[in-house]
Chain A
Amino acid sequence: MNSFLFSFGARLLVPFGMALAYGLFFRGHNLPGGGFIAGLLVGISFVTLALSRGSKTLDAFKLLNPRALLILGWIFAIGSAVPSLVAGVDFMKGIWFGSIWMPVVGDTKWGTVVLFDMGVFFLVVGVVLRIVLGLLEEDEARQL
């Protein structure tokens, strides 16, 4: 897949996808969006880049290690339950910390629920990368 157009488009897709995912993630609580969709989007952008330029491209992004992402996702998702245990309310009941102004999306409420959503986000990115990169790496190994 060494088409110039594909490779150029894929490179554009990454920053574009990231920005879009940022918006989708934080508006998810009131409008369509959220961690799952944002995660899929980011995952797809990077996977497209890897498809166009080989799986080694992603090595430049240190944080994109699928294993690290999966672990990070679990830590966020399970960690978001800790405040509810400490506070002694129902397990995983949402606890809200307050509202913070954030660029583009405006005032955003932060709470354990958002942390949980972040866990979903990281995990979904990790899953997409893990599977597609796995397939791609094997493909490349065969062609060698």
Chain B
Amino acid sequence: MLELMLAAPFGLFLFAAIAQNRGGKVPLNIVFVPVAATLFALSFLPALPPTTINLGIPVELEATSWGLVLFRLVTGIGALVFLYAGTYLSEEKQKSFWVPMGVFFLGMIGLSLAQNLLGIFLFWELTSISSFLLIGLDSKSDEAKLAARRALLITGAGALAMLAGILLWEHSSGASNEIATWAILLILFGCMTKSALFPFHFWLPGAMAAPTPVSAYLHSATMVKAGVFLIIKLHPMFRVSEWWSHVLLFSGVITFLLGSTRAFWAQDLKRLLAMTTVATLGLIAFLVGVDTEVSFRAAILVLVSHAAYKGTLFLVAGNIDHEANTRDLDKLGGLRNKMPWTCAAAVLAGVSMIGLPFTGGFLAKEWALLSSIGDSAAVLWALILGYVFLGASVLRLVVGVFFVKPKEVVSAHEAPWPMVFPPLVLSLCAVGGYFFFKSGTLFGVGTEFFGISAPKDVLAGHGPGVRELVWSGSIVFLSIIVFLFRKGFQSFRATEAIAERWGGRAVFEGALALFVVLADFASRVMSRDIGPRQVIRMVLLSMVAMFAWSLYKDQVWLMFSDFGSLKILGGAPGWFWIDLVIVSFVMVAAVAATQTSSILAALTEMGVIGLATTLIFVFFGAPDLALTQLLVEVLSVLLFVLVVRRYRVSGLTGSRIGNGVNVLISVSVGLCFFAFVILGNVVQHAPSITSYFAERSYTMAFGRNVVNVILIDFRAFDTLGEITVLGIAAISVYALLRKRPREIQG
């Protein structure tokens, strides 16, 4: 069943790819919506047996209760967003929308079901790359391209660190030692980049260059949740390290404050929403870092309720942008009568977000407060401050846009039904979440993690009480005050500009710019006066340096003191003369190649060396190598003939000093190789695998040609990689060749 759940989005992706290639006109949401809805329904099946898919690395799939929470968010909100996108996006944009969306959908579903770290990583990367493509959907906009690149670089770096962390973790086998700590920190780093936690928060607001359905789905409801999802999932395992909680607490509080205050000062509708999303992600990380059962439950409640109300608000923002053609909060206003249904959705979601009683957001906030009261006062005040500004921001959005009279009249009208229906449904969920949360169903997740048997009526005894209700009410009251006096806070916008200019983004951009400058410098130094000959010198010299170092390290000269016993030339005595003949051929040809002034003659002599080597392979029982070497030799001559003709070679030898340098380099390369070959014959670091393959070649793979069997059967996956590289190299060569004449003309 779980494989099918993974196969469905893969099928969607294939379908989208084929349809796009054929230039299909139908909006693909007629396929995406039903599939997502069906998957959502299927997740309620009682028994979903775990399974393992083997892709070389095992991918263990299991429907854990926490995984299913994300699964339902992804499929449920997915169905609504797909419906919305079919109407919202222009046909032009939809052409490049559905394929990456299919990939993303696959990645998120896999992420929610994967149970082993490497499997998680696989799907994690899928979401990063598809997010990159979706942010940069508007390929004409420089801003979108820049934002896409920034998001990819940051989440990509995080993912790489995470991979290193995963490998370290499996290496350390869970022991509490230094390696495990590093592993935990690296994985945490990956999660933090994905969820835009401080100091990596700055990519998320930029990602709002993506079309609104993408922002609502990826950058609010699901993908950025992947980071905190994983943090929650791994928490029971990683809480052994005290760093884990410390980093989460610290980064979480800062992110929360940063996001909520900057949201309040934002001028762009989507930027406001992005900043509140950043804030909420920080809050979730903070709550996990508090590391009590109550805070853990609070984190889960915040995550789920946020997905519902923030998804709604993004879609509402999309409707406003689409129908009023502006997202400027200073210009918008009084849309209540013009867009009644959108307004209703916004009000319901806003009520949940600010946390009025009997909404999903209310319970989430109560639990969050419950888990931090009694902790250090500074943290509590930070939390309250953040919540006040968060509330004020949502008031700016809902009251400011729909109810306050605008300075100038904005022309707008209600969006078509596929754009009204999804936010309405989501907003009802955001409010109705109260009853769902109250039933305690989600607490099963926390119980499963902590192994504590929680009573079903957990809210009665240990839940938030009057104290939290008072706090919560005061926060709403303060939010309204801040909102009413928002003009007075305008002067603080200057700090916003400073933060924008000197924040983490500036560090990132600066580092990137420095990198580009360095690369530019290096390439200019390299290409100024350097022809092919210097390149060859450099390559050979670095090779010699590497060889020499490893030879020195292995103390290779000790081997030569025992030179007599080395078995250099194998076989019976009769072979000696054949060896001698071949070697003399090679030597004569090599010397001749250095003496000629004609490049074609030199090439021919190199060919002789190659063919003589082929003979050695023939006599020493490597017919496969001989055949390959022979063909490669022929091909090289053909290529040389074609390539060398392009260069006007003014004699093969340069000046006297140049000659000396060349001789020196050649001799050292020769010596290094000589020592290397001897070493290869004498030293054996690992047990030989020859016999293993020789024995199993016929019994396991039904072939007597061991070389071929290794290539296409035992090591077929390696070969697949190699031929892929070959193909890419060929295409690149061709592309370079095609480019050159035009550049020469230009």
CB of A70 within 8 Å of the partner chain = yes
Question: Digit string of A27-60 for contact with B (CB within 8 Å is 1, else 0)?
Answer: 0111111111100110110011001000000000
Query: Contact between B628 and A40 (Cβ–Cβ < 8 Å)?
Result: yes
Report chain A residues within 8 Å CB of B635: 40, 43-44, 47, 128
Query: Contact between B727 and A73 (Cβ–Cβ < 8 Å)?
Result: yes
Question: Digit string of B700-722 for contact with A (CB within 8 Å is 1, else 0)?
Answer: 01111101110111001101100
Residue of A nearest to B626 (CB): A32
Query: Contact between B624 and A132 (Cβ–Cβ < 8 Å)?
Result: no
**Smallest CB separation, A92 vs chain B (Å):** 5
CB of B670 within 8 Å of the partner chain = no
Q: What is the size, in residues, of chain A's interface with B at 8 Å between Cβ atoms?
A: 55
The answer to whether A116 and B741 touch (CB under 8 A), given A30-B703, A31-B704, A44-B631, is: no
Query: Contact between A29 and B719 (Cβ–Cβ < 8 Å)?
Result: no
Query: Contact between B705 and A66 (Cβ–Cβ < 8 Å)?
Result: no
Report chain A residues within 8 Å CB of B716: 80, 92, 94, 113, 116
The 8 Å CB contact of A132, one of B631, B638, B645, is B638
CB of A62 within 8 Å of the partner chain = no
CB of B507 within 8 Å of the partner chain = no
> How far is it, in angstroms, between the C-alpha of A88 and the C-alpha of B724 when the chains are bound?
25
Query: Contact between B703 and A29 (Cβ–Cβ < 8 Å)?
Result: yes
Report chain A residues within 8 Å CB of B624: 32-34, 37
The answer to whether A135 and B738 touch (CB under 8 A), given A40-B628, A92-B717, A127-B726, is: no
**Smallest CB separation, B30 vs chain A (Å):** 28
The 8 Å CB contact of A113, one of B645, B712, B726, B734, is B712
The answer to whether A28 and B730 touch (CB under 8 A), given A91-B55, A96-B702, is: no
> How far is it, in angstroms, between the C-alpha of A94 and the C-alpha of B703 when the chains are bound?
12
Query: Contact between B720 and A28 (Cβ–Cβ < 8 Å)?
Result: no
CB of A11 within 8 Å of the partner chain = no
The 8 Å CB contact of A134, one of B646, B712, B733, is B733
Query: Contact between A36 and B705 (Cβ–Cβ < 8 Å)?
Result: no
CB of B451 within 8 Å of the partner chain = no
Query: Contact between B726 and A138 (Cβ–Cβ < 8 Å)?
Result: no
Query: Contact between A126 and B730 (Cβ–Cβ < 8 Å)?
Result: yes
Question: Digit string of B610-650 for contact with A (CB within 8 Å is 1, else 0)?
Answer: 00000000000001101110011011001101110110000
CB of B683 within 8 Å of the partner chain = no
Question: Digit string of B157-194 for contact with A (CB within 8 Å is 1, else 0)?
Answer: 00000000000000000000000000000000000000
CB of A63 within 8 Å of the partner chain = no
Query: Contact between A70 and B731 (Cβ–Cβ < 8 Å)?
Result: yes
The answer to whether A28 and B634 touch (CB under 8 A), given A117-B712, A130-B731, is: no
Query: Contact between A131 and B623 (Cβ–Cβ < 8 Å)?
Result: no
> How far is it, in angstroms, between the C-alpha of A138 and the C-alpha of B646 when the chains are bound?
10
Report chain A residues within 8 Å CB of B737: 134-135, 137-138
CB of B531 within 8 Å of the partner chain = no
Q: Which of A3-41 contact B (CB under 8 A)?
A: 24, 28-37, 40-41
Report chain A residues within 8 Å CB of B54: 88-91
Main secondary structure of the interface of B (DSSP, over half): helix
**Smallest CB separation, A14 vs chain B (Å):** 15
Report chain A residues within 8 Å CB of B55: 91
Main secondary structure of the interface of A (DSSP, over half): helix
Query: Contact between B711 and A138 (Cβ–Cβ < 8 Å)?
Result: no
**Smallest CB separation, A140 vs chain B (Å):** 11
Query: Contact between A139 and B642 (Cβ–Cβ < 8 Å)?
Result: yes
> How far is it, in angstroms, between the C-alpha of A142 and the C-alpha of B153 when the chains are bound?
41
Query: Contact between B740 and A91 (Cβ–Cβ < 8 Å)?
Result: no
Report chain B residues within 8 Å CB of A24: 627
The 8 Å CB contact of B719, one of A47, A120, A130, A132, is A120
CB of B729 within 8 Å of the partner chain = yes
Residue of A nearest to B700 (CB): A94
Report chain B residues within 8 Å CB of A91: 54-56, 717
Query: Contact between B631 and A41 (Cβ–Cβ < 8 Å)?
Result: yes
The answer to whether A132 and B727 touch (CB under 8 A), given A34-B705, A34-B708, is: no
Residue of B nearest to A43 (CB): B635
The 8 Å CB contact of B705, one of A30, A44, A138, A139, is A30
Report chain A residues within 8 Å CB of B741: 138, 141-142
CB of A78 within 8 Å of the partner chain = yes
Query: Contact between B639 and A131 (Cβ–Cβ < 8 Å)?
Result: yes
The answer to whether A136 and B713 touch (CB under 8 A), given A33-B708, A94-B701, A127-B729, is: no
**Smallest CB separation, A15 vs chain B (Å):** 18
**Smallest CB separation, A80 vs chain B (Å):** 8
Report chain B residues within 8 Å CB of A77: 719-720, 723
Residue of A nearest to B738 (CB): A134
Query: Contact between B723 and A73 (Cβ–Cβ < 8 Å)?
Result: yes
The answer to whether A126 and B727 touch (CB under 8 A), given A113-B712, A120-B712, is: yes
The answer to whether A94 and B639 touch (CB under 8 A), given A32-B705, A40-B628, is: no
> How far is it, in angstroms, between the C-alpha of A70 and the C-alpha of B643 when the chains are bound?
23
**Smallest CB separation, A16 vs chain B (Å):** 14
> How far is it, in angstroms, between the C-alpha of A28 and the C-alpha of B740 when the chains are bound?
40
> How far is it, in angstroms, between the C-alpha of A139 and the C-alpha of B724 when the chains are bound?
27
Query: Contact between A31 and B730 (Cβ–Cβ < 8 Å)?
Result: no
Residue of A nearest to B56 (CB): A91
Report chain A residues within 8 Å CB of B626: 32
The answer to whether A130 and B730 touch (CB under 8 A), given A29-B708, A30-B703, A135-B737, is: yes
The 8 Å CB contact of A29, one of B632, B704, B729, B740, is B704
The answer to whether A66 and B730 touch (CB under 8 A), given A29-B709, A40-B628, A77-B723, is: yes
Query: Contact between B642 and A132 (Cβ–Cβ < 8 Å)?
Result: yes
Question: Digit string of A69-95 for contact with B (CB within 8 Å is 1, else 0)?
Answer: 010011001101100000011111010
Query: Contact between B734 and A134 (Cβ–Cβ < 8 Å)?
Result: yes
Of A96, A123, A131, most B-chain CB atoms within 10 Å: A131
Residue of B nearest to A40 (CB): B631
Report chain B residues within 8 Å CB of A120: 711-712, 719, 723
> How far is it, in angstroms, between the C-alpha of A1 and the C-alpha of B634 when the chains are bound?
17
The 8 Å CB contact of A51, one of B638, B646, B711, B733, is B638
Report chain B residues within 8 Å CB of A137: 737
Of B707, B712, B741, most A-chain CB atoms within 10 Å: B712
Report chain A residues within 8 Å CB of B709: 29
Name 13 extra pairs, CB < 8 A, besides A29-B708, A120-B712, A139-B646: A29-B704, A30-B705, A37-B627, A40-B631, A47-B638, A74-B723, A90-B54, A124-B723, A131-B730, A134-B737, A134-B738, A135-B642, A138-B738
Which 4 A-B pairs have CB atoms at the shortest separation, nearest pair first? Answer: A29-B703, A130-B730, A30-B704, A32-B623
Mind listing 6 A-B residue pairs with CB under 8 Å? A37-B624, A66-B730, A70-B730, A74-B723, A127-B730, A135-B642
Q: Which residues from chain A sit less than 8 Å from chain B, CB to CB?
A: 24, 28-37, 40-41, 43-44, 47-48, 51, 66, 70, 73-74, 77-78, 80-81, 88-92, 94, 96, 109, 113, 116-117, 119-120, 123-124, 126-128, 130-132, 134-139, 141-142
